[in-house]
Amino acid sequence: MENTYIINTHSHVNMLKDTDIDTAISNAQKANIITIVPSSTADDIFEVDKFIQKYDDVYGYVGVFPEEAKTFTDKTLNNMENIIKNNKKIIGIGEIGLDYYWDKSFKELQKEVFIKQIKFANEMNLPLNIHSREAHLDTLEILKKYNKNSIAILHCFSGSLEFAKECIKEGIYIALGGVVTFKNAIKAKEVASNIPLEYLLLETDDPYLAPVPYRGKENQPLYVTYVASEIAKLRNTTTEEIAKITTINAERIFNFNAK
């Protein structure tokens, strides 16, 4: 795997607690892993902007997470636009979307903030990194209706193979993380085994959802290699092949060259 890069399309490496952040990033750099860090609230877009400028091979998204929709104000899109114009390492809008798992009391607000950010991404011509939890149908419906020209990625994809295929038909990419390594993750394994590789991306979503053999511990960007090797095993191919194809996919989406 010496010259093969892996693009970790979703990592909150700035949120690690048990692991030293500089060490986690240098572990990833040494393994040729490029890390993309999403933001979550209307305020931490500024933190992510500053954070990613400190490190090589670390890029970022600006966006407001559905559970944080209440932090979104009239100024938020202006702030995002300023950051995007001044920092070329911001390469997408995320993580945005819908989450009906924790709190269903402000579904309408979540939808409104999601739609505003989709339209904004379209104007900026940037891809979307999307969080969708127990909201698959609404997410797809909103994307079909409002998204004109941004490539959409469903991060930490948790739907069925059938739903994955429906998304791919709409040109949506599927990002898989540590869950695919869990013994009982039948749906995720089925998705990983069967979707066209041209629509697959890798991620960790660290510090959460560490893959086996670190399940239950704090996750970190480096562990994306376990995700790649599990998918390789499921598809009866090499980790290198999975790394190569997903890197080509990410380079196409984000319009950059890994190296």
Identify which of residues 205 and 230 has a Cβ nearer to Ni ion in the complex.
Answer: 205
List all residues 6 or more positions away from 194 whose beta carbon is below 8 Å from its beta carbon.
161
Q: How far apart are the two ends of the chain, measured CA to CA in Å? A: 14
State the nearest-atom distance from the C-beta of 251 to Ni ion, in Å: 22
State the nearest-atom distance from the C-beta of 10 to Ni ion, in Å: 6
CA-based angle 236:241:245, to the nearest 5? 120
Identify which of residues 111 and 155 has a Cβ nearer to Ni ion in the complex.
Answer: 155
Radius of gyration of the chain, Cα coordinates, nearest whole angstrom: 17
Identify which of residues 131 and 244 has a Cβ nearer to Ni ion in the complex.
Answer: 131
Identify which of residues 142 and 175 has a Cβ nearer to Ni ion in the complex.
Answer: 175
CA neighbours closer than 13 Å in the CB half-sphere of residue 209: 21
Report whether 201 contacts 177 (CB < 8 A): no
Identify which of residues 57 and 68 has a Cβ nearer to Ni ion in the complex.
Answer: 68
State the nearest-atom distance from the C-beta of 205 to Ni ion, in Å: 5
Identify which of residues 89 and 133 has a Cβ nearer to Ni ion in the complex.
Answer: 133
Please spell the DSSP secondary structure of 9-65, one letter per residue.
----GGG-SSS-HHHHHHHHHHTTEEEEE---STTHHHHHHHHHHTSTTEEEEE---
The Cα–Cα gap between 166 and 102 comes to 26
Supply φ then ψ for residue 196, to 5 degrees. -60, 135
**Footprint of Ni ion (CB under 5 A):** 205
Identify which of residues 49 and 244 has a Cβ nearer to Ni ion in the complex.
Answer: 49
- Helix crossing, 186-194 with 224-234: angle to 10°? 70
| Tokens (6 digits) for 256 | 């950059």
State the nearest-atom distance from the C-beta of 65 to Ni ion, in Å: 7
Report whether 230 contacts 181 (CB < 8 A): yes
State the nearest-atom distance from the C-beta of 236 to Ni ion, in Å: 30
- Using the 8-state DSSP alphabet, how is residue 8 labeled? E
